[in-house]
Amino acid sequence: MPYIPDKTDELLANICLGLRKFGFVDHQLLTYAGPGKNRANRKLTDCGDGTCCKNQVKTSGVNRGEKLTCDEYPFASTTQSSANSWVGCIIGFQNTAGGFVYLKNFYRDELKFQGGCPFMMKIDPSFDCTKVLASSIPGCNKKTKRQEIQASAANGVFYDATTFSPGTLIIPLGDLPAGQYSVDVTFPADAVVTRVLIGDSLGDEYNVQEAPTTGSTYQFTAVLDDVGYAAALIAETTSNDLSVVSWSVQSSGDDTPPYSAGSGSTSSTTYRHQWRDGHNHVVP
């Protein structure tokens, strides 16, 4: 897993703590469970019902105020995942990137989605697992009071293209309850956008859009039939960067919103809560 300051630091820290729990330091041989196994595996962990990290936010640092979402190790997509998996609450967009940008595309391109394939999970050597404190990643706290969240990543965090994935803009939405969500997002007129969708940390995709509704605006409905773990509004591009002019995701359910919106002219917004061959491979 690559180390990118402020983009994968909490993701790696949580993996390090999970490795430590099972007697490893910075790498472990894992086995891909196969397509469609990750959701059932996650249901067995403390992340299962989607409320483990509900209402928790980052309390300090660059990403202060960001929603925290539930992340387990070993990955739910592996046969090593179990009810005893390590669970921590990490920044939503980092959680989404781990499953959607890195793991899903690695499984597709390197393992060809073939269950039973072993691979070596290695932490980027520039990130020192031995220095990660257990207290740096909070655990489940389902009694946290509801709060308004001022999110520094309200208009998204861009992840550069890799060998396995295109340039990806992730606008974090948190752990979303099952339901129907109306999406409206507008990009700059000259933006190069290849796909727009709602996705999550399991790599699940909901209602992929490959063409705008009108101009540079995409409007669609995404239906989640189960919890969207570390769900996000995701846009992919062949360019070196991507931003939004405005966006909104609103639930049409009776007991959720959440309602979330952002504008490219501001650096933050408020989320109002009412409430995925037999050879060894190395994950880049």
Q: Tell me: the pLDDT tens digits for 118-154?
A: 999 999 999 999 999 999 999 988 655 444 444 556 7
Give the right CATH number for 149-271 from 3.40.30.10, 2.60.120.10, 3.20.20.20, 2.60.120.380. 2.60.120.380
Q: Which two tokens stand for residue 224?
A: 């989640």
Listed by start position, the domains of the chain span 9-136, 149-271
pLDDT of residue 60: 84
pTM of the model: 0.87
pLDDT at 271 over 50: no
Cα separation, 244 vs 171, in Å, equals: 10
Partnered with residue 150 across adjacent β-strands are 270
Question: Strand ranges (DSSP E) for 59-101?
Answer: 68-73, 86-91
Cα separation, 229 vs 241, in Å, equals: 25
pLDDT at 254 over 60: no
Is residue 21 very low, low, confident or very high in pLDDT (cuts 50, 70, 90)?
very high
Strand 228-237 and strand 149-151: pairing?
unpaired
Angle value at C-alpha 44, between 197 and 73, nearest 5 degrees = 70
Angle value at C-alpha 177, between 172 and 183, nearest 5 degrees = 55
